[in-house]
């Protein structure tokens, strides 16, 4: 393809495709060093997903970032650790201070802006971008095609065609399409011959088929969740579970979803009474049955369980004091309630996506494509996904940092 057919020749500019967390951060870093940037986003406003983070509070980072908190099938964990260490929380906090964003570290090591608002973070970012003479911003400008020319890259969008010497792919993932999530970035990467690891929704509610959960719609409890495959435990955790019309949601469920990936034939074991040992619960119930022989079963259970759960479990039992096994089995059922074949709810309900551009495709020290010089891939487009707790934004900032540092070196 010849460059002469094009309308805008921007060979000295860096084109960043995607004005989300990683794209904005990369742009700000480059602009601070007077590198001209063209920033494209298909949305009308930039940072739409960033605004929704942390329920609008923006869980912007985690003080304890480590490769252990990320999943990938193509990156070496050492590479992830290296990217994170290159832009540690301490350095990020210092950068935020310089930009004018004060941070607050919670006891659980999650980090939020002191203003407690994603909007404040975006306002500061927008101010930095708008006040830069070196920025051309193209909103409502989806990049539809990206081609490698002999020396440069050709970008085609509804806003026109552009030639650039350097391109950063920061298009995010398919998660949360209402907030701009799409697989367009991965398609651009694939068309350039980059290998993409199959994607899957994660940090996502789960669909399960169970009569019990249908009865409990709207109930939120703290429960222990154990994810199993062929009797092998994949993950155990205790956190919020919210029952819904399609299955289960809540923080505990989102966290366990990250261990499901594309696997099938799994089981989730729910412990409705995680803070009492089986034997202790059995003894306490036995004493109560003796002391209050006329008390309704649902009322007996309500001392331990949410009343709706107590009612659901009480429906199928009438105590028989002569049957010693009955109480034991009942308590076992409360602490080992089986949900078979949990399935991921889909990208529209997911916070993030697993899979993405393979780690084999990029230089681990720069995130530059090994196939195409001056093409970089950052943020959630890469085959790296973090746990809940600020880890995904932490990776977006760190990957943007490592890439902008490499670009700065080439512009020296």
Ligand X SMILES: Cc1cc2nc3c(=O)[nH]c(=O)nc-3n(C[C@H](O)[C@H](O)[C@H](O)COP(=O)(O)OP(=O)(O)OC[C@H]3O[C@@H](n4cnc5c(N)ncnc54)[C@H](O)[C@@H]3O)c2cc1C
Owner of token pair 């990320």:
70
Looking at beta carbons only, is 60 or 285 nearer to ligand X? 60
> Rounded to the nearest whole angstrom, what is the least distance from the CB of residue 220 to ligand X in the complex?
18
**CA–CA distance, 49 with 36 (Å, rounded to integer):** 25
> Rounded to the nearest whole angstrom, what is the least distance from the CB of residue 49 to ligand X in the complex?
4
> Rounded to the nearest whole angstrom, what is the least distance from the CB of residue 243 to ligand X in the complex?
21
> Rounded to the nearest whole angstrom, what is the least distance from the CB of residue 146 to ligand X in the complex?
8
DSSP one-letter string for 121-184: HHHHHHHHHHT-TTEEEE-S--EEEEEE-SSSEEEEETTEEEEEEEEEE----SS-GGGT--SH
Q: How would you classify residue 374: left for phi > 0, otherwise alpha for psi between -120 and 50, otherwise beta?
A: left
Contact (Cβ atoms closer than 8 angstroms) between residue 180 and residue 47 = no
Residues in the chain: 412
> Rounded to the nearest whole angstrom, what is the least distance from the CB of residue 8 to ligand X in the complex?
16
Q: Which stretch binds ligand X (CB under 6 A): 47-55, 88-96, 269-277, 307-315?
A: 47-55
**CA–CA distance, 407 with 412 (Å, rounded to integer):** 9
> Rounded to the nearest whole angstrom, what is the least distance from the CB of residue 354 to ligand X in the complex?
11
19: contact with ligand X by CB under 6 A: yes
**CA–CA distance, 86 with 45 (Å, rounded to integer):** 30
Looking at beta carbons only, is 18 or 205 nearer to ligand X? 18
Cβ burial, residue 57 (10 Å; 0-12/13-18/19+) = middle
3-state DSSP assignment of residue 235: strand
**CA–CA distance, 172 with 20 (Å, rounded to integer):** 7
Selected from 196, 379, 384, 407, the binder of ligand X by CB under 6 A is 379
What x-and-dash track marks residues 108-147 binding ligand X by CB under 6 A? ----------------------------------xx----
Selected from 390, 398, 403, 407, the binder of ligand X by CB under 6 A is 390
201: contact with ligand X by CB under 6 A: no
> Rounded to the nearest whole angstrom, what is the least distance from the CB of residue 170 to ligand X in the complex?
5
> Rounded to the nearest whole angstrom, what is the least distance from the CB of residue 379 to ligand X in the complex?
2
Contact (Cβ atoms closer than 8 angstroms) between residue 170 and residue 20 = yes
Residue of minimal Cβ distance to ligand X: 20
Selected from 13, 49, 69, 148, the binder of ligand X by CB under 6 A is 49
155: contact with ligand X by CB under 6 A: no
Contact (Cβ atoms closer than 8 angstroms) between residue 378 and residue 363 = no
Q: Which stretch binds ligand X (CB under 6 A): 3-11, 49-57, 83-91, 299-307?
A: 49-57
Selected from 38, 54, 87, 186, the binder of ligand X by CB under 6 A is 54
Owner of token pair 């222990």:
224
59: contact with ligand X by CB under 6 A: yes
| Phi, psi (deg, nearest 5) at residue 151 | -105, -30
Looking at beta carbons only, is 174 or 282 nearer to ligand X? 174
Looking at beta carbons only, is 260 or 327 nearer to ligand X? 260
DSSP state of 272: S
> Rounded to the nearest whole angstrom, what is the least distance from the CB of residue 375 to ligand X in the complex?
14
Query: Which residues within the stretch 338-377 sit at the binding site for ligand X (CB under 6 A)?
Result: 351-352
Residues 6+ apart with CB under 8 A from 315: none
Looking at beta carbons only, is 23 or 270 nearer to ligand X? 23
> Rounded to the nearest whole angstrom, what is the least distance from the CB of residue 85 to ligand X in the complex?
18
DSSP state of 351: S
User: How much of the chain is in helix, strand and coil states, percent to nearest 5?
Assistant: 35, 25, 35
170: contact with ligand X by CB under 6 A: yes
Q: Which stretch binds ligand X (CB under 6 A): 42-50, 96-104, 190-198, 310-318?
A: 42-50
| Phi, psi (deg, nearest 5) at residue 316 | -105, 20
DSSP state of 348: G
Looking at beta carbons only, is 260 or 398 nearer to ligand X? 398
CB neighbours of residue 314 within 10 Å? 19
- Looking at the DSSP bridge assignments, the partners of residue 200 are 354
**Contacts to ligand X by CB under 6 A:** 17-23, 40-43, 48-50, 52-54, 58-59, 142-143, 170-172, 175-176, 179-180, 182, 184-185, 351-352, 379-381, 390-393, 396
């Amino acid at each position: 393809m010849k460059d002469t057919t094009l309308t805008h020749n921007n060979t000295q500019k860096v084109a960043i495709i995607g004005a989300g967390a990683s794209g904005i951060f990369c742009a700000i870093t480059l602009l601070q060093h007077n590198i001209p940037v063209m920033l494209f986003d298909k949305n009308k406003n930039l940072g739409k997903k960033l605004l929704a983070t942390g329920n609008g509070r923006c869980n912007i980072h985690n003080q304890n970032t480590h490769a252990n908190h990320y999943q990938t099938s193509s990156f070496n964990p050492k590479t992830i650790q290296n990217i994170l260490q290159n832009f540690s929380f301490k350095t990020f906090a210092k950068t935020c201070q310089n930009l004018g964003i004060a941070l607050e570290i919670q006891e659980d090591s999650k980090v939020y802006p002191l203003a407690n608002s994603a909007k404040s973070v975006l306002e500061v970012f927008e101010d930095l971008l708008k006040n830069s003479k070196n920025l051309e911003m193209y909103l409502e400008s989806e990049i539809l095609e990206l081609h490698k020319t002999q020396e440069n890259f050709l970008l085609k969008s509804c806003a026109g065609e552009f030639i650039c010497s350097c391109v950063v792919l920061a298009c995010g993932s398919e998660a949360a399409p209402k907030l701009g999530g799409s697989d367009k970035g991965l398609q651009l990467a694939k068309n350039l011959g980059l290998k993409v690891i199959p994607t899957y929704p994660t940090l996502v509610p789960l669909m399960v088929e169970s009569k019990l959960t249908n009865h409990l719609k709207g109930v939120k409890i703290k429960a222990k969740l154990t994810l199993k495959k062929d009797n092998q435990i994949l993950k155990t955790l205790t956190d919020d579970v919210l029952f819904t019309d399609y299955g289960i949601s809540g923080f505990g469920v989102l966290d366990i979803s990250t261990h499901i990936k594309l696997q099938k034939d799994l089981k989730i074991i729910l412990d409705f009474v995680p803070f009492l040992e089986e034997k202790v619960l059995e003894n306490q119930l036995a004493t109560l049955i003796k002391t209050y022989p006329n008390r309704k079963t649902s009322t007996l259970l309500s001392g331990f369980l949410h009343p709706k759960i107590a009612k659901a479990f009480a429906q199928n039992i009438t105590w028989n004091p002569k049957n010693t096994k009955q109480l034991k089995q009942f308590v076992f059922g409360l602490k080992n309630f089986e949900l078979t074949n949990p399935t991921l709810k889909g990208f529209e309900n997911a916070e993030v996506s697993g899979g993405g551009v393979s780690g084999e495709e990029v230089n681990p020290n720069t995130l530059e494509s090994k196939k195409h010089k001056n093409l970089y891939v950052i943020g959630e487009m890469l085959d790296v996904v973090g746990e809940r707790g600020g880890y995904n934004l932490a990776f977006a900032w760190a990957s943007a940092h490592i890439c902008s540092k490499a670009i700065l070196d080439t512009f020296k």
